[in-house]
Amino acid sequence: MKTLKIFCDLRLTGRALSLFEQGVAPHQVVYPATPAGSVLAQAAFDPGLAEADVAFGQPAVASVLAARQLRWLQVASAGYTRFDTPEFRAAAAAAGLAVTNSSSVYAGPCAEHVLAFLLAQARVLPAALRSQCANGTAEWDALRHGCTLMGGQSVLLFGYGAIALRLVALLQPFGLPVRAYRRRARGDEAVPIVTAEGLPAALGAADTVVNLLPDNAESRNFFTAERFSQMKPGAVFHNIGRGTTVDQTALVAALQSGHLAAAWLDVTDPEPLPPGHPLLSAPNCHLTPHIAGGHRHEAESLVRHFLENFQRFVAGQSLSDRVM
């Protein structure tokens, strides 16, 4: 067996690092001079990639395009926007480069983050956690009867990848109607699919809109003022996809007018929002700082997922989470 060179630009430490190094042995690991700033950040151009067979992490597009030996790139995030261009896809196809992402790793924590948002909204946690009102008072009545049973709520998902699939599973016991928007229905989805022509009606019927869209040319600015206006009055908007998919000025207006009851956003554009940005003070706008994919064992999970694919790669089998 040929010894493969595996380029990894993640800042692995401790258990994740030893798991990685033991898992790829006896193949050779190539580290860059400067690893990526985080699992989400693109690393600088690195000549170390030029001679690698496999890359794992967040390499720069230019480094990947210059890497003539490279047969497989596993991106250490669910998002892979900078690679998701016609030019890169064409270059990858011509070079015989397989590209996988880490969406399996992020499906669980992201779906749990969405459900945390849905339930925090349903149980009015932001207001309730600030209150110590007495039983029977008007404030107590408003909180207690401001809660919503999940069972009656209809949910419309945007995006139908690994996160959506996991979320659909987590929502199953609540017995609520879930539909998903997808550009093209495949027919094997676990929930009814809404396509473009059905979208205005579907937006008007949903109590809860969950945006899981990645950032790409088609999704950018997807949630326009018109789409917000098509949503049901009192609907709640969640974004765990990418901030660039939303016209944030239109979202602020929809919250200020009360057309939307609330927004729960793990992603914005930019991140973080600059001080004084109107989303920071928009009514019922709840923000977390792009942490939906995280959890205590995130790095180990990324490595395990890479190693599973690495075994397949070595054995010549098809890779999971392949995106091109």
The binding site for a second copy (CB under 8 A) comprises 37-38, 40-41, 108-109, 112-113, 115-116, 119-120, 122-126, 128-129, 131-136, 140-141, 143-151, 169-170, 172-174, 271-273, 280, 286-298
Q: How far is the CB of 151 from a second copy (least distance, A)?
A: 6
Q: How far is the CB of 260 from a second copy (least distance, A)?
A: 18
Would residue 184 show up in a list of annotated catalytic residues for this protein? no
Query: In 3D, which of 236, 268, 287, 272 has the Cα closest to residue 113?
Result: 287
Which residue out of 139, 218, 271, 322 is catalytically annotated? 271
Q: How far is the CB of 95 from a second copy (least distance, A)?
A: 30
Q: Phi then psi for 98, rounded to 5 degrees? A: -90, 140
- DSSP assignment of 161-223 equals SHHHHHHHHHHGGGT--EEEE-SS--S--SS-EE-GGGHHHHHHH-SEEEE-PPPSTTTTT-B
Residue 110 CA from chain centroid, whole number = 6
Helices (H), the chain: 14-24, 61-66, 86-95, 103-122, 125-128, 138-144, 162-171, 199-205, 225-230, 248-256, 278-281, 298-314
Smaller CB separation from a second copy, 220 or 295: 295
With 0-12 / 13-18 / 19 or more C-beta atoms within 10 angstroms meaning exposed / middle / buried, residue 249 is exposed
Smaller CB separation from a second copy, 62 or 169: 169
Query: In 3D, which of 287, 293, 225 has the Cα closest to residue 260?
Result: 225
Distance (Å, whole) CA 275 – CA 272:
9
Would residue 286 show up in a list of annotated catalytic residues for this protein? no
Smaller CB separation from a second copy, 47 or 151: 151
Smaller CB separation from a second copy, 47 or 126: 126
Q: How far is the CB of 273 from a second copy (least distance, A)?
A: 6
Which residue out of 113, 242, 300, 305 is catalytically annotated? 242
Smaller CB separation from a second copy, 28 or 81: 81
49 near 39, Cβ under 8 Å? no
Would residue 242 show up in a list of annotated catalytic residues for this protein? yes
Q: How far is the CB of 226 from a second copy (least distance, A)?
A: 29
Q: How far is the CB of 117 from a second copy (least distance, A)?
A: 8
Query: In 3D, which of 71, 77, 75, 78 has the Cα closest to residue 61?
Result: 75
Residue 294 token pair: 């995280």
Smaller CB separation from a second copy, 62 or 147: 147
DSSP class of residue 246 equals B
Q: Enumerate the active-site residues.
A: 242, 271, 290
